Amino acid sequence: MDYSAREAAHRAASDAETIAWVDEHDQSLGALPRAELRERGLIGRGTFILLFDSAGRLCVHRRTLSKAVYPGFWDAAAGGMVLADERYVDSAARELEEELGVSGVPLAEHGVFFFDQPGNRLWCAVFSAVWDGPLHLQAEEISEACFVPPTDVLARAGREPWCPDSVEALRRYLSHNPGKMPRLCT
């Protein structure tokens, strides 16, 4: 792997975080370190935040090469694993601020779904928000970001490496919100 010592340290700390461990019905079974959950093929909880600008474009980003899952892939959503004893919405707000430097925005909830692939088994909660301010990328996790029309993501996902879990979150969002901007919770 070709990544910085700073990214490696961040990856080690991330792998040691205590993550919510759940069953196939999203019922809590306790908590485990992130790396153990992944290595044992157990199910965790994750959040996906689709960040739009007021023109309806979606913020996408490329993951750093130090990421344990989908390194170097494009990602359609900010987000991450839900920590032990953390609610989905609290995780979403935390991840949005950590990864993109966006805080204090209303988050709209769009339900949950189960994603099941080897090395990535998650109950996924989908959120959206609108933001026209500056982004402050978390250098240890994101190498670049830009805003694109959401439909471009679906077209590019067939030709380029994209995180399949966030693409699925976007597909589900678009199927329930055709042609609409996100509805915000106040």
- Give the CATH number, domain containing residue 170: 3.90.79.10
Residue 66: give the domain boundaries: 5-176
Query: In this structure, is residue 120 part of a structural domain?
Result: yes
Query: In this structure, is residue 184 part of a structural domain?
Result: no
pLDDT of residue 49: 98
Query: In this structure, is residue 181 part of a structural domain?
Result: no
Q: What average pLDDT is seen over the chain?
A: 91
pLDDT of residue 3: 61
Query: In this structure, is residue 27 part of a structural domain?
Result: yes
Q: How far is CA 149 from CA 37, 54, 84, 114, 138, in A?
A: 34, 12, 34, 25, 23
Token look-up 């994209």 returns: 162
Number of domains in the chain: 1
Q: How far is CA 141 from the centre of its chain?
A: 11
pLDDT of residue 158: 87
pTM, rounded to two decimals? 0.90
Query: In this structure, is residue 148 part of a structural domain?
Result: yes
pLDDT digits 0-9 by tens, 11-47 = 666 777 899 999 999 999 999 998 999 999 999 999 9
pLDDT mean over 40-60: 96
